[in-house]
Amino acid sequence: MNGISWARKLVLVFFPVVAGASMAWAQMPSHVPIPKDNPQTPAKIELGKQLYFDPWASSTGTVSCNSCHNIMANGTDNRPVSMGVHGDLGDRNAPTVFNAAFRSVQFWDGRARSLEEQAKGPLMNPVEMGMPSEVVITARIKSIPGYRKEFDEVFGGPDPITFDHIAQAIASFERTLITSPSPYDRYRRGDKSALTSAAQRGLKLAQSAGCTTCHSGPMFNGPAEPMGTGFYMQFPLNSDNEYVKKYNLTADLGRFEVTHQDADKHMFVVQSWRNVEITAPYFHNGSVKSLDEAVRVMAKTQLNQTLTGAQVQDLVAFLDSLTGGFPHITMPRLPETPNTTPLGQ
């Protein structure tokens, strides 16, 4: 290591508790934040699950939310960037939907302040699900008798199928996609056998190297922020290294694309370390295939440190200990489309 870096100094200022122990990283939260204007109900959650899996929510009837965020696996598609309607490719890596309910903002650039707002984005993105307007989306859903019945039961009122209600249902289902405590959480609860020696060394190294400047809190994605606020960090911070060019890390201007403010160039939402073991490839452009390489890249671009092979192995062992169990999810039965096709609606 290169002594105490500037990042480590920031850690001691903003997260002084980590100097003595791993308290900067709390255990897995026990409750999911629920907005007052979208309370959870079993019927709404089940409706949201159907919509999540239903490719009729896309213009071609071929792409669903699950296409890019596969919850029968790890909540991603493990591609550098996802493929949408007509085989078009996006320009950013798809984050896992598991534990997304704990993020204070959504998307790499934080442009959505809630899961409800996020759910609307892919539906109308021409590269993702390709629906041309809210009117077309709601007309498509209204054309399916089963959805008319379910929306009436869940939302009621004179016009239960609205774009807002579609997003609310999907978001309600996504708030159930929470992983169970990881070996690290068990370690924090007192089971010292839950972490290997390598993982324990990696935990200490992550603290001393300065990783907690960004990856603090129970989700390892920064300090707890009010919903809709967001916690951002410049990436890459240090551009004078081989990785920036090799992985094309500066092509994407990050949050600047949303705010058009120079201060937001290359600013991105800090991603969670939870389940990072199984969500390769890494970074906003999905350019790095392995976790050990991602660790090297982060050490150099963010902390200006070059790690030894043993240090990389220990950090990977610690990151692997943050993988939790996945909830049991059954595939939904989607509403039928008797005597017709929803295409063209």
Q: What pLDDT does residue 5 have?
A: 33
Q: Does the annotation count 225 as an active-site position?
A: no
**Exposed, middle or buried, 248 (CB in 10 Å: 0-12/13-18/19+)?**
exposed
Q: Which of 217, 212, 184 is nearest to 200 (CA)?
A: 184
Tell me, yes or no, whether 332 lies in a domain. no
* Dihedral angle sign, alpha carbons of residues 160, 164, 170, 172: negative
* 219, pLDDT greater than 60: yes
* 318, pLDDT greater than 60: yes
Q: What pLDDT does residue 41 have?
A: 98
Q: Are residues 141 and 208 both part of a single domain?
A: no
Tell me, yes or no, whether 63 lies in a domain. yes
Confidence class for position 319, pLDDT limits 50, 70, 90: very high
Q: How many CB atoms lie within 10 A of CB 146?
A: 16
Q: Are residues 187 and 316 both part of a single domain?
A: yes
Q: Are residues 185 and 305 both part of a single domain?
A: yes
Mean pLDDT calculated for residue range 148-177: 98
Q: Are residues 272 and 226 both part of a single domain?
A: yes
Domain with residue 225: its CATH number is: 1.10.760.10
Q: Are residues 93 and 169 both part of a single domain?
A: yes
Tell me, yes or no, whether 37 lies in a domain. no
* 21, pLDDT greater than 60: no
Express as a percent the part of the chain with pLDDT over 90. 88
Q: Are residues 25 and 59 both part of a single domain?
A: no
pLDDT one-digit tens code per residue, 44-84: 999 999 999 999 999 999 999 999 999 999 999 999 999 99
Q: Are residues 121 and 214 both part of a single domain?
A: no
Tell me, yes or no, whether 93 lies in a domain. yes
Could you check whether the bond before residue 236 is cis, i.e. omega within 30 degrees of 0? yes
Mean pLDDT calculated for residue range 105-119: 97
Q: Are residues 68 and 97 both part of a single domain?
A: yes
Q: Choose, from 116, 128, 174, 293, the residue flagged as catalytic.
A: 128
Tell me, yes or no, whether 286 lies in a domain. yes
Q: Are residues 221 and 169 both part of a single domain?
A: no
Q: What pLDDT does residue 225 have?
A: 85
* 308, pLDDT greater than 50: yes
Q: Which residues contact 272 (CB under 8 A, 6 or more apart)?
A: 99, 102, 103, 219, 220, 221
* φ and ψ of 5, to 5 deg: -75, 170
Q: What pLDDT does residue 27 have?
A: 84
The total number of residues shown for the chain amounts to 345
* φ and ψ of 288, to 5 deg: -110, 125
* 105, pLDDT greater than 50: yes
Q: Which residues contact 309 (CB under 8 A, 6 or more apart)?
A: none
Contact between 109 and 268 under an 8 Å Cβ cutoff? The reply is yes
Tell me, yes or no, whether 342 lies in a domain. no
Pairing mode of beta strands 267-269, 232-234: antiparallel
Tell me, yes or no, whether 333 lies in a domain. no
Enter the tokens of residue 115. Answer: 């899961």
Q: Are residues 49 and 12 both part of a single domain?
A: no
Contact between 232 and 270 under an 8 Å Cβ cutoff? The reply is yes
Q: Which of 147, 120, 132 is nearest to 54 (CA)?
A: 147
Count the alpha carbons within 13 Å of 101 in the hemisphere toward its beta carbon: 22
Q: What pLDDT does residue 30 have?
A: 83
Q: What pLDDT does residue 23 have?
A: 43
Looking at per-residue pLDDT, the higher value among 287 and 29 belongs to 287
d(CA 225, CA 116): 18
Q: What pLDDT does residue 25 have?
A: 74
Q: What mean pLDDT is reported for the chain?
A: 92
pLDDT one-digit tens code per residue, 82-103: 999 999 999 999 999 999 999 9
Q: Are residues 188 and 163 both part of a single domain?
A: no
Q: What pLDDT does residue 28 have?
A: 87
Q: What pLDDT does residue 149 have?
A: 97
* 108, pLDDT greater than 70: yes
Kindly report the pTM of this predicted structure.
Answer: 0.91
pLDDT one-digit tens code per residue, 132-153: 999 999 999 999 999 999 999 9
* 2, pLDDT greater than 60: no
Q: Are residues 189 and 167 both part of a single domain?
A: no
Give the total number of structural domains in the chain. Answer: 2
Q: What pLDDT does residue 17 have?
A: 34
Q: What pLDDT does residue 345 have?
A: 64
Q: What pLDDT does residue 29 have?
A: 86
Looking at per-residue pLDDT, the higher value among 26 and 336 belongs to 336
Tell me, yes or no, whether 110 lies in a domain. yes
Domain containing residue 141: 42-174
Confidence class for position 343, pLDDT limits 50, 70, 90: confident
d(CA 183, CA 23): 16
Q: What pLDDT does residue 26 have?
A: 79
